[in-house]
């Protein structure tokens, strides 16, 4: 139990450090662009490669990929039902910010401090389905709702999906793993060395981006998204933990990660759908530390550390 508290405090301290450094002027929000590129294009892909070092695909991993699709589709379905009488841009805002999980930037480095490579690889498999939905399916549905079928640029969506370095890394490593092709051992070693920086840089970036400014006029929409994420999260947690046909350890991990934060690019997608980007940015900032607290509590309750 002590390990959980130390690791959780360590990650929260890194976030607080990033926020403090921004407040003191050593870093600015503009610096987040460079840090984001380092995390998403270098340290995170290297961490993914290292996690595949001794992995062998199993049916449980395929289930995790399918689950990444399923929870996103289910969340979108709930949003479409609940917001059916709302204006189109607002419905798109709800879709983008209720469905999708920030696995690579937050959950992966956090969980990596508790679990072995095999368990983290399962999380990566979930993120494959999640990433395809977040960068492709969810955005397409939101744009269709906001602007109609004529407002959807399929080439832009495909470009967004395949310009995601973590997603491409997932696909390549899964293909190599499925065909029993191993990279040279030094590649995994160097990838592990670089990937070790991922957790610190990711948490520091979250702290720099954290900006809890709330506009009262749009507080209701933020509360609505928060409520939907919690309700769907609890429902997914119970269904996965009790009914998913995989070993107990896998069910525990997969049931926890459905409380991951909102996708980091959600404010950008929100703006493209015609809604106020700042609302999504504030919501994203507030959900990051909250999600970490929830996942830490669940780790303690399930006693899987």
Domain assignments of the chain as residue spans, ordered by start? 2-302
> What 3 state SS string does the chain have?
CHHHHHHHHHHHHHHHHHHHHHHCCCCCHHHHHHHHHHHHHHHHHHHHHHHCCCCCCCHHHHHHHHHHHHHHHHHHHHHHHHCCCCCHHHHHHHHHHHCCCCHHHHHHHHHHCCCCHHHHHHHHHHHHHHHHHHHHHHHHHHHHHHHCHHHCCHHHHHHHHHCCHHHHHHHHHHHHHHCCCCCCHHHHHHHHHHHCHHHHHHHHHHHHHCCCCCCHHHHHHHHHHHHHHHHHHHHHHHHHHHHCCCCHHHHHHHHHHHHCCCCCCHHHHHHHCCCCHHHHHHHHHHHHHHHHHHHHHHHHHHCCC
> In this predicted structure, what is the pLDDT of residue 1?
53
pTM score, two decimals?
0.79
Among the CATH numbers 2.60.40.420, 2.40.10.10, 1.20.1530.20, 3.20.10.10, which is that of 2-302?
1.20.1530.20
> In this predicted structure, what is the pLDDT of residue 58?
76
> In this predicted structure, what is the pLDDT of residue 66?
93
> In this predicted structure, what is the pLDDT of residue 79?
95
> In this predicted structure, what is the pLDDT of residue 264?
72
> In this predicted structure, what is the pLDDT of residue 63?
92
Burial environment of residue 20 by CB neighbours within 10 A (0 to 12, 13 to 18, 19 or more)? middle
> In this predicted structure, what is the pLDDT of residue 198?
80
Per-residue pLDDT of the chain (305 residues; tens, 9 = 90+): 556 667 667 777 887 888 899 889 888 878 877 887 888 788 888 988 887 777 677 777 889 999 999 999 999 999 999 998 888 889 999 999 999 898 877 788 788 777 777 778 888 889 888 888 887 778 788 888 887 765 566 676 677 667 778 778 878 888 888 888 888 999 999 998 998 888 788 778 777 877 666 667 678 888 999 999 999 999 999 999 999 998 888 899 999 999 998 887 787 778 778 887 778 877 877 887 888 889 988 988 887 65
């Amino acid at each position: 139990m002590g390990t959980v508290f130390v690791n959780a405090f360590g990650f929260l301290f890194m976030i607080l450090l990033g926020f403090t450094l921004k407040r003191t002027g050593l870093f600015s929000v503009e610096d987040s662009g460079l840090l984001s590129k380092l995390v998403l294009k270098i340290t995170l892909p290297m961490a993914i490669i290292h996690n595949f070092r001794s992995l062998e695909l199993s049916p449980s991993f395929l289930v995790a990929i399918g689950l990444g699709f399923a929870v996103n589709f289910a969340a979108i379905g709930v949003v479409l039902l609940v917001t059916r009488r709302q204006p189109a841009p607002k419905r798109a805002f709800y879709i983008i910010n209720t469905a999708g999980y920030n696995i690579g930037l937050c959950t992966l480095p956090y969980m990596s401090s508790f679990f072995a490579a095999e368990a983290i690889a399962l999380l990566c498999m979930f993120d494959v389905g999640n990433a395809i939905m977040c960068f492709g399916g969810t955005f397409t549905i939101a744009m269709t709702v906001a602007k109609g079928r004529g407002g959807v640029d399929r080439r832009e969506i495909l470009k967004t999906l395949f310009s995601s370095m973590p997603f491409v890394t997932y696909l390549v490593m899964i293909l190599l793993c499925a065909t029993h092709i191993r990279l040279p051992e030094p590649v995994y070693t160097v990838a592990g060395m670089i990937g070790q920086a991922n957790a610190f840089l990711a948490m520091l970036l979250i702290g720099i981006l954290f900006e809890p400014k709330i506009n009262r006029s749009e507080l209701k929409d933020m509360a609505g998204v928060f409520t939907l994420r919690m309700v769907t999260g609890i429902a997914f947690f119970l269904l996965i933990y009790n009914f998913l046909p995989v070993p107990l350890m896998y069910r525990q991990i997969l049931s926890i990660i459905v409380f991951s934060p909102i996708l980091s690019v959600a404010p950008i997608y929100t703006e493209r759908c015609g809604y106020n980007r700042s609302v999504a940015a504030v919501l994203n900032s507030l959900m990051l530390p909250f999600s970490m607290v929830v996942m830490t509590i669940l780790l303690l309750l399930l006693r899987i550390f």
